Amino acid sequence: MGKKDKKKTKAEEDENIVVERGAPDEATQEVAAEADDGGDEERYGASGKLKRGFYESEMLRLQEELVKLQYWVKEKGLRVGIVFEGRDAAGKGGTIKRITESTNPRVIRVVALGIPNNREKSQWYFQRWVAELPAAGEVCLFDRSWYTRAITEYVQGFCTEAEYREFMASCPQFERMLMRSGMILLKYWFSVSDEEQERRFQQRAADPKRRWKLSPMDIKSRDMWVEYSQAKDRMFDFTDTKQSPWYVVNADDKKRARLNCISHILSQIPYEDILPPPMALPPRQTSSSYIRPPIDQQTFVPEMY
């Protein structure tokens, strides 16, 4: 079989995958087509990393598509939940930040729950997550999720073996219920190497602006790489299902990870461009009857700059 035949076969396979998952609409197809434009010289520098100009232009383009998606979700009353999981310092927060940078927090909101209190610990495990699920016209970005039990709680000994086993058995059923109710559920695992994670830890430890990201739990996890890996593998065994698969994001390169993840999200939620056209604002009303109070009666912020 020649090279041309191989390429043709691969294209046919890709086409079959699209047919199985549901063909995306025209707007989604345009996102994928535009992402393929431009040669390697335009995209990559001598080190093989993405050029800053290319990365920024692609990010702006994808963020514009996210705004279109936002309008579509609101208009059609969709309920979308997107789970972001992965090792500490894998880049989940940076990706979420880029998604929300240009979108409406009332439509695309972040869910980042802290440590459960005593009352929450006594509840059904999924209960506090259910309260945060999206309503019609919402996208919820879960910055860590119910999968905390399968990884951190289990490895660190914060749950019993019985609680862990119950979670593994219940989680696929829980997610099937969510999807049967009409909710769109996407799950992303950000994969980072041991060496790159350590480099980011060292960077956070040295940078006052990032030091808050380095928690005592992060420090403790540095010596438990194997345990976390085994827990992740077992979690995939139980919860990487055909109905609700895990999508793994190669996150050693943060810029690539952000672009790849956002473009994949756009490809998984069919949407149309209903972005309002440019608006012509009416003439601004003026009033000659309004008299502003004296400025010296107001307290102003000191102008230090």
* CATH code, domain with 193: 3.40.50.300
Tell me the Ramachandran region of residue 25: left when phi exceeds 0, alpha when psi lies from -120 to 50, beta otherwise.
beta
| Domain-located, residue 13 | no
Report which of residues 28 and 158 the model is more confident about: 158
Q: Return the pLDDT at 39.
A: 63
| Domain-located, residue 132 | yes
Q: Return the pLDDT at 33.
A: 47
Structural contact between residues 199 and 185, judged by C-beta atoms closer than 8 angstroms: no
Reading the block at residue 232, the tokens are 């992740």
**Digit-coded pLDDT (tens) for 198-230:** 999 999 999 999 898 888 888 888 889 999 999
**Digit-coded pLDDT (tens) for 1-54:** 444 444 444 444 444 433 333 344 554 444 444 444 556 777 887 677 899 999
Average pLDDT score over the chain: 88
Report which of residues 43 and 187 the model is more confident about: 187
Residue bearing tokens 């219940």:
170
With both helix axes pointing from N to C terminus, report the angle between 52-76 and 26-35 in degrees, rounded to the nearest 10: 170
| Domain-located, residue 292 | no
Query: What letter would DSSP give residue 19?
Result: H
**Digit-coded pLDDT (tens) for 58-112:** 999 999 999 999 999 999 999 999 999 999 999 999 999 999 999 999 999 999 9
Structural contact between residues 99 and 90, judged by C-beta atoms closer than 8 angstroms: no
| Domain-located, residue 294 | no
Q: What is the domain range of residue 168?
A: 24-115+125-274
pTM over 0.85: no
| Domain-located, residue 184 | yes
| Domain-located, residue 301 | no
Structural contact between residues 85 and 190, judged by C-beta atoms closer than 8 angstroms: yes
**Across residues 177-206, what is the average pLDDT?**
95
Reading the block at residue 148, the tokens are 């905390």
The count of domains in the chain is: 1
Q: Return the pLDDT at 46.
A: 64
Q: Return the pLDDT at 289.
A: 83
| Domain-located, residue 2 | no
- 33-37, 61-65, 138-142, 276-280 — which is least confidently predicted? 33-37
Residue bearing tokens 């790489």:
225
Report which of residues 286 and 83 the model is more confident about: 83
| Domain-located, residue 31 | yes
Q: Return the pLDDT at 219.
A: 84
Q: Return the pLDDT at 137.
A: 98
